[in-house]
Amino acid sequence: MWGIVRKKVGAGASCILTSGQALQRLRPAASASRYYSSAAKEMTVRDALNSALDEEMSADPKVFLMGEEVGEYQGAYKITKGLLEKYGPERVLDTPITEAGFTGIGVGAAYHGLKPVVEFMTFNFSMQAIDHIINSAAKTNYMSAGQISVPIVFRGPNGAAAGVGAQHSQCYAAWYGACPGLKVLAPYSSEDARGLLKAAIRDPDPVVFLENELLYGESFPVSAEVLDSSFTAPIGKAKIEREGKDVTITAFSKMVGYALKAAEVLSKEGISAEVINLRSIRPLDRATINASVRKTNRLVTVEEGFPQHGVGAEICTSVVEESFGYLDAPVERIAGADIPMPYAANLERMAVPQIEDIIRAAKRACYRAVPLAASG
């Protein structure tokens, strides 16, 4: 299947949509341990992001928002709903359709001590502005010998949505995760979204904040601690969403939900899977990953992005370098197909990992199924 890519490293061996209205039809209506399990209240990821922006703007007058349709239209995905009315057009700036232009303005504002939050309608459009993100934002602190900080957040939906084709479906986690000077975050739950966005806005360095369009309407339990205005989630710290002893599954963003569902199925077949929500792509929490693998002795990595030079490849390398002697099976790497995203729904499903792909990989790692290489 296209959606499965397996790497053996174990012990044995452009049409650009230009308005939120056009995109609307495509939308569906600091511990390593999970600590919201007993929460009574639920919150959507959309509301978690909105509340984080609202609270940080209220707390710090240097924080401002800019991007296409963040103001009058209240955000292409309604993340910035109500903020123009509350804070006015000087702090919620609608921009022309020119990512290179407004991203450069944002970086310049950060040079002078402001704290811009730049929204991309999709991170695919950040390619128009990647010179500012990499060369102007990520490298300036180093090149100025620490004299210039660049406290800026680049946020928006990343990765595959539904039926939007190759030019609007790419995952940029590995792209930006490869660049020194950036911090790269990928939230899954409402707790992640709220805590990590608040931490990103407060951080003195540039942060790439990779959301997922299909998660905006999802509701998750949140505790009173998470709802407190002082709450932040730690950058660079993964979260163990489900403890297990037989196999470690790492994932980020929407794939965390898939991994949890796969773990539930596996539990009924006697396989105890530990699911790690990476949350932070750069810095990567290698310590939590390796500690888990040393316990379970097996690893499955899951991501939507391309397989070559992917996040999973980096995790595999880390485990081989630090925990090779603990592996009892080859590492299983699940990723998107090594092709541009198809438009047709049936082909699109084949091009991204599915729950059954994760289940099969975990079974192979636990020697509960015929190895992939022998199944042809």
Catalytic one among 99, 211, 303, 314?
Answer: 99
Active site residue 69: no
Catalytic one among 168, 211, 274, 348?
Answer: 168
Please count the other Cβ atoms lying within 10 Å of the Cβ belonging to residue 336. 24
Main-chain phi, psi angles of 100, to 5 degrees = -60, -35
Query: Exposed, middle or buried: residue 376 (CB in 10 Å: 0-12, 13-18, 19+)?
Result: exposed
How far are the Cα atoms of 242, 259, 267 from residue 256, in angstroms, in the given order? 10, 5, 16
How far are the Cα atoms of 67, 88, 118 from residue 105, in angstroms, in the given order? 11, 19, 10
Q: What is the DSSP letter of 33?
A: B
Torsion on CA atoms 30, 35, 41, 47, rounded to nearest 10: 30
Instruction: Say if residues 276 and 243 touch (Cβ distance below 8 Å).
Output: no
Active site residue 132: no
Residue whose token pair is 């053996």:
8
At 336, list the tokens. Answer: 């998107």
Helix (H) or strand (E) holding 264: helix 254-267
Which residues are known to be catalytic?
99, 168
